[in-house]
Amino acid sequence: MPELPEVEVTRQSFAPAISGALIQDVKVGKPLRWPLGCAASVLVGQRVLAVRRRGKYLLLDLDGGVLLIHLGMSGSLRFTEQVAPMGAHDHFELVTNRGSLRLHDPRRFGAVVFSHTDDSGMAAKLLGKLGVEPLSDQFDPVRFALDLKKRRTAIKQVLLGGDLVVGVGNIYACEALYRAGIRPTARADRIGRLRAGRLHLAIREVLARAVQQGGSTLRDFSSANGESGHFQLEAAVYGRAGQACRVCATPIASLRQGQRSSFFCPKCQRN
């Protein structure tokens, strides 16, 4: 699933090109996770003012509302001046006077949803309970440490929950916990202030580095201009079960948490 860095890389790859564009046509394929929320014709004639990101959602600000795009499990966007006819797995396309933005989603867990504002309709439902943005100034280390004290579940599950801090998906949670020296199974309320501070810094560093490296391409992720990510090439623990830790040479271990694989170093990380 595309995580925060991949969504941010996608945003950066097409936002400058589409900002200011006039929507000339909208093409809709098979149904996605949620309905569009309006007739496709409502979008025609609107102008794209800007492209934002909130967690793993892309938000296209229009002069008549906001269009939310979620890439789901296997979705990707392409923005090109000339495109071929929509294929079997192409389910939404904005045709503008600057090019076409197309959603390709073989598993159809993604979504494109229109709302009049961020805090109305489906947008309010999808965005209203999201936690703080980890790369923003609002992600405060003191507040983070205090909030962890209220959670009695495993720290990995707290990070994936998205209501405390948004967008720290499986890959980057594993990597941040490794940098902070904390096992994925450590109970959140037992993490002291100093370790919480290290984790706060590790989350920001890992996500920023992943954006810089174009995200992670494990299967078929690529940006809206077709470029693959490279962060996976420098992952310290994710996907490296049985391989030597880059610091202590202990074999990297793995376990299942909430139907997700967690990777960690038994020596460098502790509960």
Sign of CA dihedral 48, 52, 58, 64: negative
Residue 190 designated active-site: no
Return the C-alpha torsion angle 252, 255, 257, 262, nearest 10. Answer: 20
| Structure token digits, residue 197 | 């501070």
Compute CA distances 197 → 144, 169, 176, whole Å. 8, 19, 12
Q: At what angle do helices 141-148 and 193-212 cross, to 10 degrees?
A: 120
| Structure token digits, residue 214 | 């174009």
Residue 260 designated active-site: yes
Is residue 94 within 8 A of residue 43, CB to CB? The reply is yes
| Structure token digits, residue 63 | 């002069």
- Using DSSP bridges, classify how beta strands 99-104 and 76-80 pair: parallel, antiparallel or unpaired: antiparallel
**What letter represents residue 89's amino acid?**
H
Nearest 5°: phi and psi at 261?
Answer: -85, 130
Is residue 104 within 8 A of residue 78, CB to CB? The reply is yes
Catalytic residue among 2, 5, 134, 184: 2
> What is the CA angle 107-109-113, rounded to 5?
135
Residue 106 designated active-site: no
Residue 98 designated active-site: no
Catalytic residue among 11, 56, 78, 198: 56
Paired residues of 65 in beta bridges: 62
**Could you give the residue numbers annotated as active site?**
2-3, 56, 260
